[in-house]
Amino acid sequence: MSRLPAIGSTLLVLVLLAGAGWLAWSWYDSRLPGSYNPMDYATPDYGGGPQVSHDAIAQTVDELDGPAAGKPDFKKTITARQADVRLSSGETVHALTFDGQVPGPELRVRQGDLVEVTLVNEDIEDGVSIHWHGVDVPNREDGVAGLTQNAVQVGERYTYRFRAEQVGTFWYHSHQTAADEVRRGLYGALVIEPQEHAPKGALDLTAVVHSFPGATVIGSSDGTQQRIVRRGTPVRLRLVNTDSSAQGLVLTGTPFRVAAIDGTDLAHPTPVRGEPIQLGAGARYDLAFTMPPSPVKLEVTGSKAAILLDPPTQVGGQPLAESGSTFDPAGYGLNAPRPFTASSHFDRSFEVDIGKKLGFLDGKPGSHWSVNGKLYPHTPMYMVEVGDLVKLTIRNDSGATHPMHLHGHHFLVLSRDGEGVTGSPWWVDTLNVRSHETYEVGFKATNPGIWMFHCHNLPHARDGLTMHVMYGGVTTPYRAGDAVHNHPE
Q: Where are the alpha helices (DSSP H) in 253-388?
A: none
Question: Which residues from 292-311 bind ligand C2O, rule CB under 6 A?
Answer: none
- Could you say which residues in the range 450-469 bind Cu ion, by CB under 5 A? 455, 457, 460, 465
Least Å distance, CB 228 to ligand C2O, is 34
402 scored as a contact of ligand C2O (CB under 6 A): no
Nearest to 390 by CA among 331, 426, 434, 340: 340
Q: Which element (helix H / strand E) includes 25?
A: helix 3-30
Write down the least CB distance from residue 377 to Cu ion, Å.
17
Among 47, 168, 274, 282, binds ligand C2O (CB under 6 A): 282
**Rg of the chain on CA atoms, in Å:** 24
- For residue 452, the minimal CB distance to ligand C2O (Å) is 5
By C-beta, is 456 or 485 nearer to ligand C2O? 456
d(CA 392, CA 42): 17
- Contacts with Cu ion, 367-406, as mask; x by CB under 5 A: -----------------------------------x----
Our CA angle for 366, 487, 445, nearest 5°, is 100
> By rule CB under 6 A, what string of x and - marks binding of each residue 134-173 to ligand C2O?
---------------------------------------x
DSSP letter (8 states) at residue 463 = T
From the list 87-95, 111-119, 419-427, 450-458, the region that binds ligand C2O by CB under 6 A is 450-458
| Residue 405 within binding range of ligand C2O, rule CB under 6 A | yes
454 binds ligand C2O (CB under 6 A): yes
CB 98 within 8 A of CB 131: no
Per CB under 6 A, the list member of 456, 460, 462, 487 interacting with ligand C2O is 456
Phi first, then psi: give them for residue 29, nearest 5 degrees: -65, -30
Stretch that binds ligand C2O, among 192-200, 215-223, 362-370, 449-457 (CB under 6 A): 449-457
Q: Which is nearer to Cu ion, 252 or 432 (CB)?
A: 432
Closest CB to Cu ion among residues 153, 438: 438
Nearer to ligand C2O, 374 or 454 (CB): 454
Neighbours of 167 (CB within 10 A): 17
What CA–CA distance (Å, rounded) separates 241 from 366?
Answer: 29
What distances in angstroms separate CA 251 from CA 161, 209, 316, 322, one per listed residue?
Answer: 36, 14, 18, 8
Residue 151 is which amino acid? Answer: A
Instruction: Quote helix, strand, coil % in the chain, to nearest 5.
Output: 10, 45, 45
Distance CA 230, CA 295 (A): 10
Chain contacts with Cu ion (rule: CB under 5 A)? 402, 455, 457, 460, 465
Residues that bind ligand C2O (CB under 6 A): 131, 133, 173, 175, 282, 405, 407, 452, 454, 456
